[in-house]
Copies of this chain bind each other. A is one copy, B any other.
Amino acid sequence: MIVVIQCKDQVGLVAGITGVLAKEQLNIVSLREHVDKIENRFFIRVHLEVETDSQALESKLKQVLPEDAVIKVNPLPEKKVVVLVTKEYHCLGDILIRHYFKTLGAQVQCVIGNHDTLENICQRFDIPFYLVSHEQKDRDVFESQVSSLIDKYTPDYIVLAKFMRILSPGFVAKYTGRLINIHHSFLPAFVGASPYRQAFERGVKLIGATAHFVTNELDEGPIIAQQIIPVTHSHTAGDMMKAGKEIETAVLAKALHLVFEDRVFVYKNKTVVFE
């Protein structure tokens, strides 16, 4: 059983929290704690050996915590997710395989694509696929169609698995803290379009990928995980893109795993990740 708490920092928080747990005879398997001294912010994740009444425990914890505390006791072990895609298959394929074999740690409720390229693979896994084309319509209309579909499923997270449309501030605000994106670059290098073309022209020796929560700055937002892969002079821009897809897949998988196990806290533009 998992307990995660985020609140402003003050003396005695760990003592208060673990005092409650000890009183309930709840043995701690592992405990990770971090204080952001600059923001004066406290983060804790406790893994307990046994299960107990979540609601009762939460109200007891509330009594030892500041009012602003965000407490989750035994958060849903299987998150619900909607996946947004365009044409590239590598991230979605990985998600579908893990989902099919029940190791994703989440339930894929549906996939929404602005192209139909990935419809067939979804059908093969019995996952509903919705085509919402962005063509010949305003972004507002496109986004409200996507949004209606999402809202039908009330997902915990929306995963942008190589979804190649830039989302409006309104859309992002509506799903704040729930939108996870994979960016095809080692941010903050090569922000924006064609990062592999940029990387090739710059002659870099490493390329990277970044999984992050989406905010309204282009390719900004709290970073969850990053990874790199070496490249050489013999890589064309196309080769870099191919190599990049391998780490895009890996880094998104890792980020989702961390988020779905409630190991990621967000505060302002940063994350605290208890791996």
Q: A15-B21, A35-B28, A233-B34 given as contacts; is B89 within 8 A of A97 (CB)?
A: yes
With a CB–CB cut-off of 8 A, which chain B residues contact A270? 203, 233
Given contacts A97-B93, A223-B204, contact A234 B30 (CB under 8 A): yes
CA distance A26 to B205 in the complex (A): 30
| A63 interface contact, C-beta 8 A | no
**Would you call A271 and B203 a contact (CB within 8 A)?**
yes
Most buried by B among A36, A94, A97, A271: A97
Is A187 touching B204 in the complex (CB atoms < 8 A)? Answer: yes
The complex places the Cα of A234 from the Cα of B32 at a distance, in Å, of 11
Q: Give A220's nearest chain B residue, CB to CB.
A: B202
- A149 located at the interface, meaning its Cβ lies under 8 Å from any Cβ of chain B in the complex: no
Of the candidates B11, B202, B222, the one whose C-beta lies within 8 Å of that of A188 is B202
- List which A1-32 residues lie within 8 A (CB) of chain B: 9, 11-16, 18-19, 21-23, 25-32
Interface of A is mostly: mixed
Give the Cβ gap from A118 to chain B, nearest Cβ, in Å. Answer: 10
**Known contacts A94-B97, A121-B100, A223-B203; A35 and B29 CB within 8 A of each other:** yes
Q: A275 to B32: give the CA distance in the assembly, Å.
A: 12
A189: Cβ under 8 A from any B Cβ: yes
Q: Is the CB–CB distance between B18 and A233 below 8 Å?
A: no
Closest to A237 in B: B38
Q: How far is the CA of A233 from the CA of B205 in the complex (A)?
A: 21
Complex-state Cα separation, A190 to B188, whole angstroms = 7
Q: List 15 A-B contacts (CB under 8 A).
A: A11-B22, A11-B26, A13-B28, A14-B22, A30-B35, A32-B32, A93-B101, A96-B97, A97-B97, A186-B189, A186-B206, A187-B189, A204-B226, A232-B273, A246-B253
